[in-house]
Amino acid sequence: MNLLAFETATDVCGVALMLENEVVTLNEGNIPRQHAQRLPALYQSIVDEYNINLSDLDGIAVSIGPGSFTGLRIGLSYSKGLAYSHGLPIVPVPTLQGIAEGCDSDNDFRVLLFSHRDLIYHQKFNQGKSPITKASITRWDDLKNNLDQSNIFQINCEKFFDGQVVSASAKHIVKCARDHYEEWAQSDPFKLVPNYIAQFEINK
């Protein structure tokens, strides 16, 4: 399977290319609030290096949320433009599941991603990295008493606790897209919207 993937849901802005089921290159960096300026250059450098004809790809994967409001809009908009212009499906990858792909655990674990103020996106996964719960957003004071803090992987939550720090990456997004292609691929890209997890969904 040949896929291009974008990660823009966090401070990381990245592009990964998969050819014949293997990630052949990754171009990304931790560049907060610079996604709109940097994403086109990261993409173009990979296309130029590998002389990619997008029409030969099986699809374009993108981190669909939850995460940064602006980052999600940028990544999905860019993906939609490429997909529509080349007749490709989009594979929307849940952001927390993409992060979980990069976590190593012998037991069930949780992924936490800081949103804003005291709000945390979180989701529980089994050791095979399949979701056990749905992605949710919860205030830290309501969340902390229900956590086994010895088995948490987190992004930007250091002010709340000392969990294992991980990073989002386009290489994890493209691997998830490959593994769930038949289930997740969308042939009509314009129907897709980011999964922001609205404020009225906050768990108490």
For residue 200, the model assigns a pLDDT of 47
User: Reading across the β-sheet that carries 136-139, which strands appear in turn?
Assistant: 136-139, 119-125, 109-116, 152-155, 164-165
Check if the beta carbon of residue 161 is closer than 8 Å to that of residue 114. no
Q: Indicate the residue type of 44.
A: Q
Report DSSP letters for 155-200, one per residue: ES-TTT--PEE----HHHHHHHHHHTHHHH-BS-GGG-------GG
Q: Can you list the domains of the chain with their CATH numbers?
A: 3-96+168-198 (3.30.420.40), 104-165 (3.30.420.200)
Tens of pLDDT, residue by residue, the chain (204 residues) = 999 999 999 999 999 999 999 999 999 999 998 999 999 999 999 999 999 999 999 999 999 999 999 999 999 999 999 999 999 999 999 999 999 999 999 999 999 999 999 999 999 999 999 999 999 999 999 999 888 777 999 999 999 988 899 999 999 999 999 999 999 999 988 889 999 986 545 555
Asked whether the bond before 89 is cis by omega within 30 degrees of 0, the reply is no
